[in-house]
Homo-oligomer: A and B are copies of this chain.
Amino acid sequence: MIYVSRQEHFNAAHKLYNPDWSREKNYEVFGPCANENWHGHNYDLIVTVKGYTDPETGFVIDLKKLSNLIKTEVIEKLDHKNLNLDVSFMKGKMASTEILVKEIWSILEPKIPPITSFGQLHSVKLYETPRNYVEYLGE
- Which residues of A come within 8 Å of B, CB atoms? 1-9, 11-14, 16, 18, 20-21, 29-33, 35, 37-42, 53, 56-60, 62-64, 79-82, 85-86, 93-99, 101-102, 129-137, 139
Report whether A58 and B132 are in contact in the complex, using a CB–CB cutoff of 8 Å.
no
B137 touches A80 (CB 8 A): no
Distance between Cα atoms of A37 and B96 in the complex (Å): 18
Neighbouring B residues of A98 by C-beta, 8 Å: 2, 4, 53, 58-60
Give A63 to B16 CA distance when docked, in angstroms.
13
CB of A3 within 8 A of CB of B58, answer: no
Q: How far is the CA of A85 from the CA of B31 in the complex (A)?
A: 18
A53: chain B residues within 8 A (beta carbon): 96, 98-99, 102
A85 touches B37 (CB 8 A): yes
Chain B residues with Cβ below 8 Å from A56 are 18, 20-21
